[in-house]
């Protein structure tokens, strides 16, 4: 059994698109921290709520393992890892607690500019490059389309030009990256934004109360923003 913790631990991205907005949102909830020298851990000063600074991809697993209580992560990452776990028959240990309204993007299918798009059946028999294999596979099954998923960890948008795939499934915000690669978005699998993720089951009493307090302040801060 893990030792009892009486402080709440929140994982956020160390660097990247969600790092600063996540800190700013938590600061607007009245949290303040003292940073450790290695900048991986921030000790909560105003409240017993600490930050762990990590890769976004690690956040769902840290919550599932109970290393962290909460996390700020893209819905795309949370759902990808959730679908992957579900596909492997594991119980879902984390879920979305709140949508946070920043880091908005879409997970889209994009095809070469020159295609006349007639619908998802056009993807049958094609190769689709993505970093989101679980979400894409589930969507293809739902759509009844038999296509091949090609897993790439990055630079997905150049896969069609390299001949690795005919289409891609990737995050899009402005669309500039697609356009620069002669691709066009044709359908959306997921509308994403940063979310507060937490365990699927309740926290113990002490951390549960801290989480409640944080949620109340968060809801107040989010109301003011919108």
CA distance 87 to 109: 21
CA distance 25 to 122: 42
C-beta nearest to ligand PRT: residue: 74
Return the number of the residue (64 or 183) whose C-beta is nearest ligand PRT. Answer: 183
In whole angstroms, the minimum distance from the beta carbon of 171 to ligand PRT comes to 4
Return the number of the residue (44 or 60) whose C-beta is nearest Zn ion. Answer: 60
Return the number of the residue (57 or 96) whose C-beta is nearest Zn ion. Answer: 57
Return the number of the residue (56 or 69) whose C-beta is nearest Zn ion. Answer: 56
| Binding partner selected for residue 74 from ligand PRT, Zn ion, none, CB under the kind-specific 5 to 8 Å limit | ligand PRT
- The reply on whether position 57 binds Zn ion by CB under 5 A is yes
**Of 30-38, 43-51, 53-61, 94-102, which segment contacts Zn ion by CB under 5 A?**
53-61
Do residues 110 and 117 touch, judged by C-beta distance below 8 A?
no
Give the H or E element holding residue 97.
strand 94-99
Backbone angles phi, psi at 184, to 5 degrees: -135, 140
Return the number of the residue (111 or 172) whose C-beta is nearest ligand PRT. Answer: 172
Return the number of the residue (77 or 134) whose C-beta is nearest ligand PRT. Answer: 77
Q: Which residue has the tokens 């289409």?
A: 167
Do residues 13 and 57 touch, judged by C-beta distance below 8 A?
no
Residues near 160 by Cβ (< 8 Å), separated by ≥ 6?
112, 129, 166, 167, 168, 181, 183
In whole angstroms, the minimum distance from the beta carbon of 73 to ligand PRT comes to 7
Buried b / exposed e along 199-224 (16+ C-beta atoms within 10 A): beeebeeebeebbeebbebbeebbee
CA distance 65 to 62: 5
DSSP 70-81: EEEEEHHHHHHH
| Binding partner selected for residue 175 from ligand PRT, Zn ion, none, CB under the kind-specific 5 to 8 Å limit | ligand PRT
In whole angstroms, the minimum distance from the beta carbon of 12 to Zn ion comes to 13
* Contact positions with Zn ion (CB under 5 A) in 151-190: none
| Binding partner selected for residue 177 from Zn ion, ligand PRT, none, CB under the kind-specific 5 to 8 Å limit | ligand PRT
**Of 48-56, 101-109, 129-137, 143-151, which segment contacts Zn ion by CB under 5 A?**
48-56
The site for Zn ion (CB under 5 A) is made up of: 56-57
């Amino acid at each position: 059994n893990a030792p009892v913790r009486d402080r709440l631990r929140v994982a956020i991205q160390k660097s990247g698109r969600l790092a600063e907005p996540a800190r700013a949102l938590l600061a607007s909830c009245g949290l303040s921290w003292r940073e450790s020298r290695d900048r991986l851990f921030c000790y909560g000063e105003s409240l017993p709520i600490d930050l762990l600074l990590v890769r976004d991809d690690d956040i769902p697993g840290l919550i599932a393992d109970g290393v962290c209580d909460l996390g700020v992560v893209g819905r795309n990452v949370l759902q990808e890892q959730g679908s992957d776990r579900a596909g492997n028959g594991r119980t879902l240990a984390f879920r979305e607690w709140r949508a946070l309204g920043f880091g908005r993007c879409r997970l889209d299918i994009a095809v070469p500019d020159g295609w006349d798009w007639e619908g998802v059946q056009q993807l049958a028999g094609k190769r689709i490059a993505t970093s989101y294999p679980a979400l894409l596979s589930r969507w293809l099954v739902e759509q009844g389309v038999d296509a091949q998923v090609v897993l790439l960890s990055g630079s997905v948008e150049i896969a069609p030009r390299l001949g690795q795939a005919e289409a891609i499934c990737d995050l899009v915000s402005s669309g500039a990256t697609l356009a620069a690669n002669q691709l066009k978005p044709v359908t959306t699998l997921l509308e994403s934004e940063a979310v507060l993720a937490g365990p699927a089951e309740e926290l113990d009493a002490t951390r549960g109360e801290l989480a409640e307090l944080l949620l109340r302040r968060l809801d107040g801060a989010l109301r003011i923003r919108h």
